[in-house]
Structure 1
Amino acid sequence: MAEAAASAGGEAFEAVPGRAAITFCVILAVVMQALDTTIANVALPYIQGTVAASQDQINWVLTSYIVAAAIMTPPSGWFAGRFGRKRVLMVAIAGFTVASMLCGMAQSLTEIVLFRLLQGAFGAALVPLAQSFLLDLYPPEDRGKAMGLFGMSVMVGPVLGPVLGGWLTENFSWRWVFYINLPIGIMAFVGIMIFVRETVLEDSKLDWTGFVSLSIAIGALQLFLDRGEQLNWLGSSEIVIELMVCLGAFYVFLVHIFTTDNPFVDPKLFLDRNFTIGMVFIFIIGITYLASLALLTPYLQTLMGYPVTTAGIVMGPRGLGTMATMLIVGRLMGKVDTRALLVIGLVITAWAMWDMTGWTPEVSQWNIAVTGFIQGAGLGFLFVPLTTVAFQTLPAKMRGGATGLYNLSRNIGSSVGISIVSALLVENTQVNHANIASYVTPFNRAFESGAGRLLDPTSGASRALLDQEITRQATIIAYSDDFYLMMVMSLLAIGLVFLLKGSGQKSGAKDEGEDYAVVVE
Structure 2
Amino acid sequence: MGPAAGSRRGNELMITVSIMLATVIQVLDTTIANVALPHMQGSLGAGSDQITWVLTSYIVAAAIMTLPVGYLSRRFGRRNLFLWSVAGFTAASAMCGQASSLDEMVLWRLLQGVFGAALVPLSQATLLDTFPRERHASAMSIWGLGVMIGPVLGPTLGGWLTEYHSWRWVFYINLPLGILSLIGIYLYLPEDRKEAPRFDALGFGLLALAVGALQLLLDRGEQVHWFESLEIQVYGIAASLGLYLFLVHSLTTKTPFLSPGLFRDRNYVSGLVFIFVVGIILLATLALLPSYLQQWKGYPVVTTGLVMMPRGLGVMAAMLVVGRLLRFIDGRLLILVGILCVSLSLHWMSGFTLQVSQSALVWTGLLQGAGLGLVFVPISTLAYATLPAALRGEATALFSLSRNLGSSIGVSVVTAVLTRNLWVNQQQLGARLQPPLELSDTATGEALAALPAQVVQEVSRQAAEIAYVNDFQLLMWISLAAIPLLLLLSGPQREATAG
The normalised TM-score by structure 2 is 0.85
Out of 155, 170, 176, the position equivalent to 1:183 is: 176
In structure 2, the CA distance between the partners of 1:355 and 1:238, relative to structure 1 (3 Å rule), is same
Instruction: Answer yes or no: is the 8 Å Cα contact 2:318–2:370 preserved in 1.
Output: yes
- In the other structure, the counterpart of 1:3 is none
Letter in 2 for 1:259: T
Is 2:306 aligned against 1:317? no
Indicate the larger mover: 202-211 or 241-250. Answer: 202-211
Deviation at 1:247, TM superposition (A): 0.9
Query: What amino acid sits opposite 2:251 in the alignment?
Result: F
Change (3 A) 1:120 1:480: farther
1:330 Cα deviation after fit: 1.9
CA 1:59 to 1:456, structure 2 compared with 1: closer, same or farther past 3 Å?
Answer: farther
Corresponding position of 1:518: none
What is the identity, as a one-letter code, of the residue corresponding to 2:359?
W
Q: Alpha carbon RMSD of aligned pairs, Å? A: 3.6
SS where residue 372 of structure 1 aligns? helix
Is the 2:140–2:381 contact (alpha carbons within 8 Å) kept by the matching residues of 1?
A: no
Q: Does 1:275 align with 2:264?
A: no
Q: Give deviations 1:385-410, integer Å, cap 9, x for gaps.
A: 22333333434444443332222211
Structure 1 equivalent of residue 256 of structure 2? 263
1:293 to 281, 286, 290: 286
**Aligned equivalents of 1:174 and 1:418: distance in 2?**
23
Change beyond 3 A, Cα 1:444–1:131: farther
Partner in structure 1 of residue 48 of structure 2: 53
* CA distances 1:340-397 after superposition (whole Å, capped 9, x unpaired): 2222111111111112222233322222122111111111111122233333343444
CA distance, structure 2, for counterparts of residue 24 and residue 263 of structure 1: 35
Equivalent runs, 1:25-424 vs 2, <5 Å: 25-43=18-36, 52-53=47-48, 65-105=58-98, 115-133=108-126, 149-154=142-147, 156-157=149-150, 160-193=153-186, 199-424=192-417
Distance in 2, Cα, partners of 1:33 & 1:322: 18
CA deviation map 1:72-113 (0-9, x unaligned) = 224223223323434322321232223334444567777656
Contact 1:162 1:316 in 2 (8 A): no
Q: Percent identity?
A: 52
Q: Label 1:107 to 1:444 Cα distance change in 2 as closer, same or farther (>3 A).
A: farther
Show structure 1 runs of 5+ residues with no match.
1-11, 511-521
8 Å CA contact 2:140, 2:380 repeated in 1: no
Letter aligned with residue 342 of structure 1: I
CA contact (8 A) 2:142 2:319 kept: no
Identify, as 1 or 2, the structure richer in helix.
2
What is the aligned length? Answer: 492
Task: Tell me by how many angstroms 1:18 deviates.
Answer: 9.3
String of CA shifts for 1:292-322, please: whole Å, max 9, x gaps.
1111122222222222222222212112211
Deviations 1:387-441 (A, max 9, x none): 3333334344444433322222111111111111122222222222222222233
Shift of 1:67: 4.3
Match of 1:488 in 2: 477
Mapping 1:437-456, distance limit 5 Å: 437-442=430-435
| CA 156–435 in structure 1, closer or farther in 2 if over 3 Å, else same | closer
Cα deviation digits, residues 424-478 of structure 1 (max 9, x gap): 2222222222222222331689xx89xxx7996974x654454344333322322
**SS in structure 1 of the partner of residue 492 of structure 2:** coil
Letter of the 1:252 partner, please give it.
Answer: L
Distance 1:356 1:110 in 2: 41
Distance in 2 between residues matched to 1:142 and 1:506, nearest whole Å = 14
Cross-structure match for 1:514: none
In the aligned structure 2, how far is the partner of 1:113 from the partner of 1:369? 36
- 8 Å contact kept, 2:141–2:323: no
Structure 2's unaligned 5+ residue stretches are: none
Secondary structure in structure 1 of the residue aligned to 2:417: helix
Tell me, yes or no, if the aligned pair for 2:122 and 2:396 is still in contact at 8 Å. no
1:300–1:378 CA distance, 2 compared to 1 (3 A) = same
| TM superposition score normalised by structure 1 | 0.82
Distance 1:455 1:88 in 2: 72
Task: Tell me if 1:502 matches 2:491.
Answer: yes
SS in 1 for 2:498: coil
Cα distance change, pair 246–147 in 1 and its aligned pair in 2 (3 A): closer
CA drift of 1:500 comes to 3.3
Residues 118-160 of structure 1, C-alpha deviations (whole Å, 9 max, x = no match) = 3233212123334455566677898877666555544552564
Structure 1 pair 25–228 and aligned structure 2 pair: CA distance change class (3 A): closer
Alignment check: 8 A CA contact 2:137 2:323 kept: no
